[in-house]
Amino acid sequence: MKQRTLAILKPDCIEAKVTGKVLDKILAAGFQIAGMKLVRMDEETAGAFYAVHRERPFYRDLVNFMSSSQCIPMVLEKEDAVEDFRKLIGGTDPAEAADATIRKEFASSKQNNIVHGSDSPENAEVEIGFFFSDAELISTG
């Protein structure tokens, strides 16, 4: 059965002009796009999205980074989407990410790591609902 996950191409991805290359890797890995949009989160919206990290030392920097420019949230579909996307993007720190992963190839730091991916099916559902209504999503069959 197909599963959905949320991906966000972060401001550093757009600013580095590697959005197309990252999308190519996502599509080549068998993901289908059920929804996608270009947004500019303000600090309040970014803070609400990353509220789970509110007590972490990096929270303020993360909110500032995510509200610094445009980003592209998208809903991806495939079997085992959450787990497969986490493998495709690699570890948070690009210096430690596996070879051929998105973060290894394109990210510059642990904070500026190009892409967000949901970490569980339950969180994927919540995160998708943060950015998309059901009417904005298509079934990819």
Q: In what order do the strands lie in the sheet with 72-79?
A: 32-36, 72-79, 2-9, 115-117
Catalytic residue among 31, 116, 118, 132: 116
Task: For residues 79 and 43, give the distance between their C-alpha atoms in angstroms, rounded to a whole number.
Answer: 34
Task: For residues 101 and 124, give the distance between their C-alpha atoms in angstroms, rounded to a whole number.
Answer: 20
Between the CA of residue 76 and those of 55, 63, 71, 97, what are the distances in Å?
Answer: 29, 23, 16, 21
Examine the residue annotation and report whether 53 is marked as an active-site residue of this protein. no
Active site residues: 116
